[in-house]
A = this chain, B = another copy of it.
Amino acid sequence: MKLATYRDGSRDGQLLVVSRDLTQAHYASHIANRMQQVLDDWNYLSPQLQDLSDALNAGRARHAFTFDPRQCMAPLPRAYQWVNGNGYPSHGEVLARAAGVPIDPGNDQEPQLTQGSGANVWGAMDPITGARDTMGLDFCAGLAIVTGDLPMGCAADSALDGVRLIMLCNAAHLYVGPLILQRPGTAFSPVAVTPDELGEAWSRGRLHGQLQVTWNGRKVGLCDAGANMHFHFGRLLSALAQTRPVPAGSIVGAGPVSNKAVERKGRAEWPQGYSCIVEKRAMEILQDGQPSTDFLHHGDTVRIEMKGAGGASIFGAIEQEVVRSNS
């Protein structure tokens, strides 16, 4: 099933069930008002949401209405935990090569996780705020999952049983040089999707599909989110649970989707593009000795989407505009 949260003036919004084709929606108020409620009590509440989803997809839901992603908060508008990992170590590798520093030997050996703020979460069409003149503002397009409860020490395979929902995300980063200085916030796709809804595209902790990234109307990324995912979500969750349990409603990202370079006539190329500007700049340094792509400017737009086998949008699109804040 597909779930979303509509803005209603409250901090947690109103839970919706959304049709598979993203055209229709239905309030879930008679089952649960808030997404966290469902995550806290998944075994009891999710079958009821599934029934509503079935009715909605069959055109039998009584009070269905047209789904409007502009009304969406993030599916989970505030989370008790937001952790981003390095599912795609080729990202770290290209950044290290460009910076001329040794590649961290752990880069593709052990997942690395960065704790973020679960309180600074944006809806899919909210502006990107927090830009500063003195820092480079970047998007970072990727996948994220929402968890159920996982026990401390759980293994990668069993951790996958705790994947409740899958979303797209855009984690804004502010850089000075190659250093991340600030993380102003993270946007999530309008809709969060249960693993069963993804069919064979979801396989053993990886979502197979191309992540489309469009910057100011120009397609800049079509990276394969499945084939190049080195640490699948079970590995990331198992690493997170190493010394502590993972409570329901934790959001775990896999970092920017990144594809390995291919060699063409002795030159490294990345035909599938990029999911974050800092990686594009690293590619340029490796190719030309210096970066030529600038970071985001006021008024820039970023669009992130993934389409299913039939060409339909799975999660709806993240569509954000950069809005300057005072520096």
Using a CB–CB cutoff of 8 Å, the interface residues on chain A facing chain B are 11, 40, 78-81, 83, 114-120, 129-130, 132, 152-153, 174, 182-185, 242-250, 325-326
Contacts and interface: CB of A to CB of B under 8 A. Distances in A.
A152 B174 CA distance: 15
Contact of A244 (B118, B184, B250): B184
Contacts of A185: 244
B120 A118 contact: no
A129 B152 CA distance: 9
Contact of A243 (B130, B242, B248): B130
Most buried by B among A116, A120, A132, A249: A120
Q: How many copies does the complex hold?
A: 2
B115 A244 contact: no
A130 B152 contact: yes
A12 B120 CA distance: 21
A325 to B, nearest CB: 6
A230 to B, nearest CB: 21
B249 A119 contact: yes
23 contacts: A11-B248, A78-B247, A80-B80, A80-B119, A81-B117, A81-B118, A81-B119, A83-B117, A114-B115, A115-B115, A115-B116, A117-B244, A118-B118, A119-B246, A119-B247, A119-B249, A119-B250, A120-B244, A120-B245, A120-B247, A153-B325, A184-B244, A185-B244
A115 B11 CA distance: 21
A119 B117 CA distance: 11
A199 B84 CA distance: 41
Given A152-B129, A153-B325, A80 B242 contact: no
A182 B130 contact: no
A325 B152 contact: yes
A247 B247 CA distance: 21
Contacts of A81: 117-120
A129 B78 contact: no
Contacts of A83: 117
A325 B243 contact: yes
Contacts of A79: 80
Contacts of A242: 182
Contacts of A117: 80-81, 83, 115, 244, 250
Contacts of A244: 117, 120, 129-130, 182-185
Nearest to A137: B243
A268 B116 CA distance: 38
Given A80-B80, A117-B250, A120-B245, 19 more contacts: A11-B40, A11-B247, A78-B247, A80-B117, A81-B118, A81-B120, A115-B116, A119-B250, A120-B247, A129-B244, A130-B152, A130-B244, A132-B243, A153-B326, A174-B243, A182-B243, A184-B243, A184-B244, A243-B325
